[in-house]
Amino acid sequence: MGSATHETDTVKIGVLLSLSGPLSATELWHLQGTMLGVDIVNSEGGINGLPLEPILCDPASAAASYRMMAQELVDRHGLKNVFGCCSSDIRKTLISTFEQHDALLWYPTQFEGFEWSPNVLYGGSCPNQHTLPLADYLLDCDRSRHLIIGTDFGFPRTNNQVFRDHIESRGGQVLGEHYLPRGAPREHWMAVIEPYRGRCDAIFSTVVGGDNRPLFEAYHALRLRPDRMPITGFCLCEGTVAQMPGLYAGHISVMPYFESIGSHSNTQFLRRFRRRFGRQARANWPALTSCLQVQSFAAAARLAGSDEASAIIANISQVDLDSPTAGYSLDQDTHYSLVRPHVSVADGNGQFELLHVGSEVIRPDPYLINTA
């Protein structure tokens, strides 16, 4: 093993996730999943008898710290696999470091696609797996007039362009598209939404992280009704809605996983998750995909007998995990995951009720080359 140490007989992996600052709202969920994945792998005998040893770095949501710590993990520590980072803007600044050191960045969250690197494994979902299924669902429900909103950076803008193009290609309308910076207050979101009262059938939102709360507070302050004009998107999960269930009730989210999926694998996952983090802990897609990435790495490393980047990539397509999402695997050609979309509506108890489950697992099409 390239990162095994003779002194401790472990396989070291890097964990690059923020415990403080604005990005911690999401990255703490990723940390839970990553550590649970480590626990599961080690309970199964590690990698060919060697336990995983995570080296945790906390960038505290500072872009410069992510770059510095990534360099330290792959250069000074000589690690070949690093898990973490949930911001597209930051991920892009890290790619050259991983390529130069021939190490792998396991990126754990949904994102905008239109990117490929031989040294990044994209564990979440891309637009043909979340944006397009949601757009089709909304149009099939006769919600054809849309307002598009988002946080002002690359990830929302790219997904929103995909949403706009697909809605318009199917005869729908986009009546407006607006962006606000991170940290925008409730009053600013009220000013954005209010002119569209009664004109739209839905609001497609790529507002991220902690900025969802002032957005939904603005929606409630305007006394809008989700049965008439729900907020829709793929940035709402159990970890968000559980904080204030009434605030998010009636709004629609698409993700590969929700706690309410009724499967034996999900029951087992939730049992393990709550045993590790407490009976009240809420699982979600960010946590699950992080857990699955660690398990996928371990399975590929066992097959390869190595944790070197080339060995992992050569074996990753042979890994197909029994997961709560009815199977989870990574595509060797694109380095993206294969997932099944689930469209759900938030209830008043911090959970999601399934509205529609994709008929099949969707292969990643990060550049939308094969997507009509």
Note down pLDDT in tens along the chain; length 372 residues: 666 544 569 999 999 999 999 899 899 999 999 999 999 999 999 999 999 999 999 999 999 999 999 999 999 999 999 999 999 999 999 999 999 999 999 999 999 999 999 999 999 999 999 999 999 999 999 999 999 999 999 999 999 999 999 999 999 999 999 999 999 999 999 999 999 999 999 999 999 988 999 999 999 999 999 999 999 999 999 999 998 999 999 999 999 999 999 999 999 999 999 999 999 999 999 999 999 999 999 999 999 999 999 999 999 999 999 899 877 899 989 999 999 999 999 998 999 999 999 999 999 999 999 886
Is there a single domain that holds both residue 140 and residue 109? no
* 96, amino acid identity: S
Residue 105: its pLDDT value, please?
Answer: 98
Is there a single domain that holds both residue 135 and residue 234? yes
Residue 6: its pLDDT value, please?
Answer: 42
Q: Is residue 3 part of a domain?
A: no
Sign of CA dihedral 183, 184, 185, 190: negative
DSSP 74: I
Q: Is residue 218 part of a domain?
A: yes
3-state secondary structure of 25: helix
Residue 30: its pLDDT value, please?
Answer: 97
Q: Is residue 366 part of a domain?
A: no
Dist. CA 111–CA 113, nearest whole Å: 6
Is there a single domain that holds both residue 349 and residue 321? no
> Please, are residues 32 and 84 in contact by the beta-carbon 8 Å criterion?
no
CA angle (34, 286, 234) in 5-degree steps: 165
Q: Is residue 6 part of a domain?
A: no
Please tell me the total count of domains within the chain.
2
Is there a single domain that holds both residue 298 and residue 185? no
Q: Is residue 121 part of a domain?
A: yes
Q: Is residue 315 part of a domain?
A: yes
At 193, which CATH number? Answer: 3.40.50.2300
Is there a single domain that holds both residue 278 and residue 230? no
Residue 82: in which H helix or E strand, if any? strand 81-84
Please report where in the chains the tokens 């049965």 appear, as a residue: 227
Is there a single domain that holds both residue 347 and residue 252? yes
Pairing, β 342-346 against β 252-255? antiparallel
Is there a single domain that holds both residue 49 and residue 139? no
Range of the domain at 178: 128-257+341-357
Residue 328: its pLDDT value, please?
Answer: 87
Is there a single domain that holds both residue 282 and residue 322? yes
Is there a single domain that holds both residue 118 and residue 134? no
Is there a single domain that holds both residue 327 and residue 194? no
Is there a single domain that holds both residue 173 and residue 322? no
Dist. CA 271–CA 242, nearest whole Å: 18
Q: Is residue 363 part of a domain?
A: no
Is there a single domain that holds both residue 192 and residue 235? yes
Dist. CA 335–CA 121, nearest whole Å: 5
CA atoms within 13 A on the CB side of 341: 26
Residue 8: its pLDDT value, please?
Answer: 61
Residue 29 to residues 21, 24, 144, 222, Cα–Cα distance (Å): 14, 8, 34, 31
Q: Is residue 4 part of a domain?
A: no
> Please, are residues 345 and 252 in contact by the beta-carbon 8 Å criterion?
yes
CA angle (82, 160, 16) in 5-degree steps: 15
> Please, are residues 234 and 134 in contact by the beta-carbon 8 Å criterion?
yes
Dist. CA 366–CA 137, nearest whole Å: 20
DSSP 125: -
Dist. CA 103–CA 120, nearest whole Å: 9
First to last CA, the chain: 43
